[in-house]
C-alpha cells in the first residue's frame, strides 16, 4: 500500500486501482497491448494500399500515442499521464473525421474541416452534461452519432466492405458500456471491466482505419491537392 501522500497524488478512476504503485492496474495497463497490435496491422495495411498521405501517417502515430498514453496513465495515474491518455484520443477522433471525409468520401479540404468543426461543436454540447454520468464516459458519446453517420454513408454508397464502419459503431457502443459500468461492478468483480474497453477499442481502431484506407479515393476534386 502507498503512503497517504502517494494516495492523494494518484488519480483513481477505475475499480482495479486500490493503491499507489506502477503495477496496481495490471489488467488495465497490459490490455493496452491491443492498441500496439492495432497499430502494427494498420501499418501493414497502409503499406499494402499505398496510403502515404500525411493524415494516414499522423493517424498511425496517434494510435501508438494512444497506446503509450493509456499505458502511462494506468501505471503512473497522475494528471500529466491523464493528459497523455486523453489528448491523443481526441486528436485521433478529429483526424479520423477529417481523413474519412477528405479521402473516403473524396471531398475537398474545406468540407473536411467543416465536418471536424461539427464534431467539435457536438463534443462541446455533450460537455455541458454532468461529468460523472456514465462513469465519466459522457465525453465519448459524440463519437457514436458521428461514427454511425459515417457507417451509414459507407454502407449506402457501397464502399469497400460496406458494413465495416457499422460493425465498428456496434463495437464502440459495447466498449463504451464496459467503460461506463466499471465502477458499478466493483463489488462483484474487483478487477473491474475497464480492460475490456481497451481490448475492444484496439479492434475498433483497426476497423475504422481499414474502412478509411481501403476506401481511399485517388481521384481528388479538380484544383485540390491531398493534405
22-26, 37-41, 111-115, 116-120: segment of lowest average pLDDT: 22-26
| Nine cell digits for residue 2 | 502507498
CA distance 112 to 193: 35
Query: pLDDT averaged over the chain?
Result: 91
Report how far residue 82's alpha carbon sits from residue 107's, in angstroms, rounded to the nearest whole number.
35
Mean pLDDT of 100-127: 95
Contact at 8 Å (CB) between 147 and 165?
yes
pLDDT of 220: 47
Question: Is a pLDDT exceeding 80 seen at residue 33?
Answer: yes
Q: Given CATH 1.20.1070, say whether it is the number of domain 23-213.
A: yes
Residue 109 CA: distances (Å) to CA of 47, 54, 95, 181:
24, 13, 12, 39
The Cα 221–Cα 16 span in angstroms is: 50
Are 59 and 205 in contact by the 8 Å Cβ rule? The answer is no
Amino acid at each position: 500500500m502507498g503512503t497517504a501522500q502517494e494516495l492523494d497524488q494518484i488519480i483513481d478512476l477505475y475499480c482495479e486501482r486500490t493503491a499507489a504503485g506502477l503495477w496496481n492496474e495490471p489488467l488495465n495497463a497490459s490490455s493496452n497491448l491491443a492498441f500496439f497490435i492495432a497499430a502494427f496491422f494498420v501499418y501493414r495495411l497502409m503499406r499494402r494500399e499505398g496510403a502515404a498521405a500525411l493524415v494516414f501517417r499522423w493517424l498511425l502515430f496517434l494510435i501508438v500515442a494512444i497506446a503509450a498514453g493509456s499505458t502511462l496513465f494506468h501505471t503512473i495515474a497522475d494528471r500529466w499521464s491523464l493528459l497523455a491518455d486523453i489528448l491523443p484520443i481526441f486528436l485521433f477522433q478529429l483526424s479520423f473525421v477529417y481523413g474519412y471525409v477528405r479521402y473516403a468520401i473524396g471531398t475537398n479540404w474545406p468540407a473536411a474541416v467543416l465536418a471536424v468543426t461539427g464534431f467539435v461543436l457536438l463534443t462541446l454540447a455533450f460537455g455541458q452534461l454532468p461529468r460523472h454520468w456514465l462513469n465519466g464516459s459522457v465525453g465519448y458519446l459524440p463519437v457514436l452519432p458521428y461514427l454511425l453517420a459515417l457507417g451509414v454513408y459507407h454502407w449506402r454508397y457501397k464502399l469497400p466492405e460496406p458494413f465495416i464502419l457499422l460493425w465498428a459503431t456496434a463495437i464502440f457502443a459495447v466498449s463504451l458500456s464496459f467503460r461506463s459500468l466499471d465502477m458499478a461492478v466493483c463489488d462483484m468483480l474487483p478487477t473491474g471491466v475497464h480492460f475490456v474497453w481497451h481490448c475492444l477499442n484496439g479492434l475498433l481502431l483497426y476497423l475504422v482505419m481499414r474502412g478509411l484506407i481501403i476506401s481511399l479515393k485517388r481521384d481528388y476534386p479538380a484544383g485540390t491537392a491531398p493534405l
